[in-house]
Amino acid sequence: DQQVKQNSPSLSVQEGRISILNCDYTNSMFDYFLWYKKYPAEGPTFLISISSIKDKNEDGRFTVFLNKSAKHLSLHIVPSQPGDSAVYFCAASPNNGNQFYFGTGTSLTVIP
Amino acid sequence: DTGVSQDPRHKITKRGQNVTFRCDPISEHNRLYWYRQTLGQGPEFLTYFQNEAQLEKSRLLSDRFSAERPKGSFSTLEIQRTEQGDSAMYLCASGFDLPQHFGDGTRLSIL
Protein backbone atom coordinates (compact mmCIF):
# COMPACT_ATOMS: atom_id res chain seq x y z
CA ASP A 1 0.00 0.00 0.00
CA GLN A 2 1.22 3.45 -0.95
CA GLN A 3 1.58 5.45 2.25
CA VAL A 4 2.93 8.51 0.45
CA LYS A 5 1.10 9.67 -2.65
CA GLN A 6 1.87 12.20 -5.31
CA ASN A 7 -1.26 12.29 -7.39
CA SER A 8 0.05 14.54 -10.15
CA PRO A 9 2.47 12.65 -12.38
CA SER A 10 3.43 15.82 -14.22
CA LEU A 11 3.26 19.59 -14.02
CA SER A 12 4.17 22.34 -16.48
CA VAL A 13 4.87 25.88 -15.36
CA GLN A 14 6.04 29.03 -17.11
CA GLU A 15 9.46 30.33 -16.13
CA GLY A 16 9.21 32.93 -13.36
CA ARG A 17 5.89 31.63 -12.07
CA ILE A 18 5.28 29.54 -8.96
CA SER A 19 5.45 25.75 -9.05
CA ILE A 20 3.40 23.91 -6.44
CA LEU A 21 3.99 20.21 -5.97
CA ASN A 22 1.69 18.27 -3.68
CA CYS A 23 2.05 15.17 -1.55
CA ASP A 24 -0.41 13.31 0.67
CA TYR A 25 0.31 10.68 3.27
CA THR A 26 -1.77 8.22 5.24
CA ASN A 27 0.38 7.31 8.25
CA SER A 28 -0.16 9.69 11.18
CA MET A 29 3.08 8.40 12.73
CA PHE A 30 5.18 10.12 10.06
CA ASP A 31 7.22 12.82 11.77
CA TYR A 32 9.84 13.87 9.25
CA PHE A 33 9.34 14.81 5.62
CA LEU A 34 11.70 15.55 2.76
CA TRP A 35 11.65 16.62 -0.86
CA TYR A 36 14.14 15.33 -3.39
CA LYS A 37 14.83 16.32 -6.97
CA LYS A 38 15.99 13.78 -9.52
CA TYR A 39 17.57 14.23 -12.93
CA PRO A 40 17.78 11.31 -15.38
CA ALA A 41 20.63 8.87 -14.72
CA GLU A 42 21.39 10.46 -11.35
CA GLY A 43 20.39 9.65 -7.80
CA PRO A 44 17.88 11.86 -5.99
CA THR A 45 19.27 15.11 -4.60
CA PHE A 46 18.03 16.45 -1.28
CA LEU A 47 16.15 19.75 -1.51
CA ILE A 48 14.42 20.60 1.74
CA SER A 49 12.96 18.93 4.81
CA ILE A 50 10.47 19.62 7.58
CA SER A 51 9.76 17.97 10.90
CA SER A 52 6.26 17.49 12.23
CA ILE A 53 6.73 20.16 14.90
CA LYS A 54 6.79 22.83 12.18
CA ASP A 55 4.30 23.81 9.50
CA LYS A 56 6.67 25.68 7.21
CA ASN A 57 10.32 25.62 6.23
CA GLU A 58 11.97 27.92 3.75
CA ASP A 59 15.27 27.70 1.89
CA GLY A 60 15.83 30.25 -0.83
CA ARG A 61 13.34 29.69 -3.64
CA PHE A 62 12.00 26.53 -1.99
CA THR A 63 9.34 26.42 0.73
CA VAL A 64 7.73 23.32 2.18
CA PHE A 65 4.37 23.52 3.93
CA LEU A 66 3.04 20.81 6.21
CA ASN A 67 -0.63 20.43 7.13
CA LYS A 68 -0.73 17.62 9.68
CA SER A 69 -4.47 17.57 10.10
CA ALA A 70 -4.91 17.06 6.36
CA LYS A 71 -1.85 14.80 6.12
CA HIS A 72 -0.65 16.95 3.26
CA LEU A 73 2.56 18.67 2.35
CA SER A 74 3.49 20.84 -0.56
CA LEU A 75 6.63 22.24 -2.12
CA HIS A 76 6.56 25.74 -3.53
CA ILE A 77 9.24 26.89 -5.95
CA VAL A 78 9.26 30.56 -6.73
CA PRO A 79 10.34 31.84 -9.14
CA SER A 80 10.55 28.68 -11.23
CA GLN A 81 13.58 28.31 -13.50
CA PRO A 82 14.20 25.99 -16.47
CA GLY A 83 16.90 24.22 -14.41
CA ASP A 84 14.19 23.17 -11.97
CA SER A 85 12.82 20.78 -14.60
CA ALA A 86 13.19 17.36 -12.98
CA VAL A 87 11.23 14.68 -11.15
CA TYR A 88 10.37 15.63 -7.57
CA PHE A 89 9.81 13.04 -4.87
CA CYS A 90 8.40 13.56 -1.42
CA ALA A 91 9.39 11.16 1.34
CA ALA A 92 8.31 10.57 4.91
CA SER A 93 9.67 8.75 7.95
CA PRO A 94 7.78 7.41 10.99
CA ASN A 95 10.69 6.73 13.22
CA ASN A 96 13.40 9.32 13.23
CA GLY A 97 14.81 8.43 9.88
CA ASN A 98 15.23 4.66 10.22
CA GLN A 99 12.91 4.04 7.29
CA PHE A 100 11.61 6.27 4.54
CA TYR A 101 8.57 5.99 2.31
CA PHE A 102 8.66 7.76 -1.05
CA GLY A 103 5.91 8.97 -3.34
CA THR A 104 5.86 8.08 -7.03
CA GLY A 105 7.16 11.46 -8.11
CA THR A 106 5.96 14.48 -10.08
CA SER A 107 7.74 15.46 -13.26
CA LEU A 108 8.08 19.24 -13.37
CA THR A 109 8.71 21.04 -16.64
CA VAL A 110 9.53 24.74 -16.49
CA ILE A 111 8.92 26.34 -19.85
CA PRO A 112 11.29 29.19 -20.80
CA ASP B 1 33.46 16.43 -3.35
CA THR B 2 33.27 12.71 -2.51
CA GLY B 3 29.64 11.80 -2.55
CA VAL B 4 28.06 8.38 -2.17
CA SER B 5 29.74 6.00 -4.60
CA GLN B 6 28.11 2.87 -6.01
CA ASP B 7 29.74 0.12 -8.00
CA PRO B 8 29.06 -1.11 -10.60
CA ARG B 9 26.86 1.44 -12.35
CA HIS B 10 25.34 -1.23 -14.54
CA LYS B 11 25.06 -4.99 -14.13
CA ILE B 12 23.63 -7.39 -16.68
CA THR B 13 23.25 -10.98 -15.59
CA LYS B 14 21.35 -14.13 -16.41
CA ARG B 15 18.42 -15.25 -14.35
CA GLY B 16 19.52 -17.49 -11.50
CA GLN B 17 22.93 -15.89 -11.05
CA ASN B 18 24.08 -14.14 -7.89
CA VAL B 19 25.03 -10.47 -7.94
CA THR B 20 26.69 -8.19 -5.41
CA PHE B 21 26.65 -4.41 -5.33
CA ARG B 22 28.90 -2.14 -3.32
CA CYS B 23 28.18 1.22 -1.73
CA ASP B 24 30.79 3.58 -0.32
CA PRO B 25 29.03 6.21 1.77
CA ILE B 26 30.21 9.71 2.46
CA SER B 27 33.02 9.52 5.01
CA GLU B 28 31.89 9.36 8.65
CA HIS B 29 28.23 8.96 7.77
CA ASN B 30 26.78 6.58 10.32
CA ARG B 31 23.46 5.99 8.53
CA LEU B 32 23.31 3.88 5.38
CA TYR B 33 20.22 2.90 3.39
CA TRP B 34 19.49 0.66 0.42
CA TYR B 35 16.53 1.29 -1.87
CA ARG B 36 15.18 -0.23 -5.05
CA GLN B 37 13.53 1.86 -7.75
CA THR B 38 11.58 0.64 -10.76
CA LEU B 39 10.30 2.68 -13.68
CA GLY B 40 7.61 5.18 -12.73
CA GLN B 41 7.97 4.52 -9.03
CA GLY B 42 9.71 6.22 -6.17
CA PRO B 43 12.59 4.62 -4.28
CA GLU B 44 11.40 1.66 -2.23
CA PHE B 45 13.09 1.14 1.13
CA LEU B 46 15.00 -2.14 1.52
CA THR B 47 17.19 -1.85 4.60
CA TYR B 48 18.92 0.57 7.00
CA PHE B 49 22.21 0.39 8.89
CA GLN B 50 23.36 2.56 11.74
CA ASN B 51 27.11 2.03 11.78
CA GLU B 52 27.50 -1.74 11.36
CA ALA B 53 24.12 -2.65 12.86
CA GLN B 54 21.26 -3.49 10.50
CA LEU B 55 18.36 -1.84 12.31
CA GLU B 56 15.55 -1.99 9.77
CA LYS B 57 14.69 -4.45 7.06
CA SER B 58 11.72 -4.21 4.73
CA ARG B 59 9.29 -7.07 4.43
CA LEU B 60 9.96 -6.73 0.71
CA LEU B 61 13.49 -7.98 1.29
CA SER B 62 13.13 -11.68 0.60
CA ASP B 63 15.62 -14.20 1.90
CA ARG B 64 17.41 -14.01 -1.46
CA PHE B 65 18.57 -10.53 -0.47
CA SER B 66 21.25 -9.86 2.10
CA ALA B 67 23.08 -6.72 3.06
CA GLU B 68 26.14 -6.15 5.16
CA ARG B 69 28.12 -3.25 6.52
CA PRO B 70 30.96 -5.06 8.22
CA LYS B 71 32.99 -2.19 9.64
CA GLY B 72 30.43 0.53 9.58
CA SER B 73 31.89 2.00 6.41
CA PHE B 74 31.12 0.49 2.98
CA SER B 75 28.14 -1.79 2.45
CA THR B 76 27.29 -4.64 0.08
CA LEU B 77 23.92 -5.82 -1.17
CA GLU B 78 23.79 -9.37 -2.51
CA ILE B 79 20.93 -10.90 -4.48
CA GLN B 80 21.02 -14.65 -4.84
CA ARG B 81 19.30 -16.62 -7.60
CA THR B 82 18.20 -13.49 -9.43
CA GLU B 83 14.73 -13.34 -10.96
CA GLN B 84 13.27 -11.19 -13.72
CA GLY B 85 11.46 -9.09 -11.13
CA ASP B 86 14.78 -8.06 -9.58
CA SER B 87 15.49 -5.82 -12.57
CA ALA B 88 15.61 -2.33 -11.10
CA MET B 89 17.83 0.53 -10.04
CA TYR B 90 19.40 -0.14 -6.65
CA LEU B 91 20.16 3.04 -4.75
CA CYS B 92 22.34 3.57 -1.72
CA ALA B 93 22.08 6.61 0.53
CA SER B 94 24.01 7.77 3.57
CA GLY B 95 23.72 10.45 6.22
CA PHE B 96 25.35 11.54 9.46
CA ASP B 97 22.07 12.70 10.85
CA LEU B 98 19.36 13.55 8.36
CA PRO B 99 18.82 14.00 5.49
CA GLN B 100 20.22 11.15 3.50
CA HIS B 101 22.29 11.70 0.38
CA PHE B 102 21.96 9.33 -2.54
CA GLY B 103 24.43 7.75 -4.88
CA ASP B 104 23.68 7.42 -8.60
CA GLY B 105 22.64 3.80 -8.25
CA THR B 106 23.40 0.44 -9.82
CA ARG B 107 21.10 -0.57 -12.65
CA LEU B 108 20.46 -4.32 -12.67
CA SER B 109 19.17 -6.01 -15.80
CA ILE B 110 18.19 -9.68 -15.73
CA LEU B 111 18.32 -11.53 -19.04
Higher pLDDT: B62 or A89? It is: A89
Position B97 scores a pLDDT of 77
Task: Give the model confidence (pLDDT) of A26-62 as tens digits.
Answer: 999 999 999 999 999 899 999 999 999 999 999 999 9
Question: E-strand spans in chain A?
Answer: 4-5, 10-14, 19-25, 32-38, 45-51, 56-59, 62-67, 72-77, 86-93, 101-102, 106-111
Mean pLDDT over A92-111 rounds to 92
The H or E element containing residue B36 is strand B31-37
Alpha-carbon gap, residue A49 to B103, rounded angstroms:
19
Measured in angstroms, the CA of B12 and the nearest CA of chain A are apart by 17
- pLDDT of residue B99 exceeding 90, the answer is no
In angstroms and rounded to an integer, the radius of gyration of the C-alpha atoms of chain B is 13
Please state, in angstroms and rounded to a whole number, the distance separating the CA atoms of residues A38 and A55: 24
Q: Which pLDDT score is estimated for B90? A: 97
Contact at CB, A49 and B103, closer than 8 angstroms: no
B93/B5 Cα distance (integer angstroms): 9
> Average model confidence (pLDDT) for chain B?
93
B33: which chain A residues are within 8 Å (Cβ-Cβ)?
Answer: 100
Q: What is d(CA A38, CA A99) in angstroms, rounded to the nearest whole number? A: 20
Q: Do B41 and A104 touch (CB under 8 A)?
A: yes
Strands A72-77 and A10-14: unpaired
Q: Residue B55 is inside which H or E element, if any?
A: strand B53-57
Residue of A45, A89, A99 with shortest CB distance to B45: A99
Percentage of residues in chain A having pLDDT higher than 90:
91
Amino acid letter, A109: T
User: Is B105 in the A-facing interface, judged by CB distances under 8 Å?
Assistant: yes
**Percent of chain A at pLDDT exceeding 70:** 100
- pLDDT of amino acid B1: 54
Residues 6+ apart with CB under 8 A from B34: B23, B46, B47, B48, B67, B75, B77, B90, B91, B92
Q: Any idea how long chain B is?
A: 111
Could you tell me if B32 and B46 are in contact, meaning their C-beta atoms sit under 8 angstroms apart? no
Q: What is the mean pLDDT of residues B49-64?
A: 90
Residues in chain A: 112
Report the percent of chain B where pLDDT is more than 90: 83
Q: Is A62 on the interface with B (CB under 8 A)?
A: no
CB B104 within 8 A of CB A42: yes
Residue of B31, B40, B102 with shortest CB distance to A43: B102
What's the confidence (pLDDT) of residue A3? Answer: 94
Q: How confident is the model at residue A90 (pLDDT cuts 50, 70, 90)?
A: very high
| Distance in angstroms (rounded) separating the CA atoms of residues B92 and A100 | 13
Determine the 3-state secondary structure of B14 from DSSP. Answer: coil
Give the pLDDT score at A97: 82
Q: Are A27 and A94 in contact (CB under 8 A)?
A: yes
B44/A102 CB distance under 8 A = yes
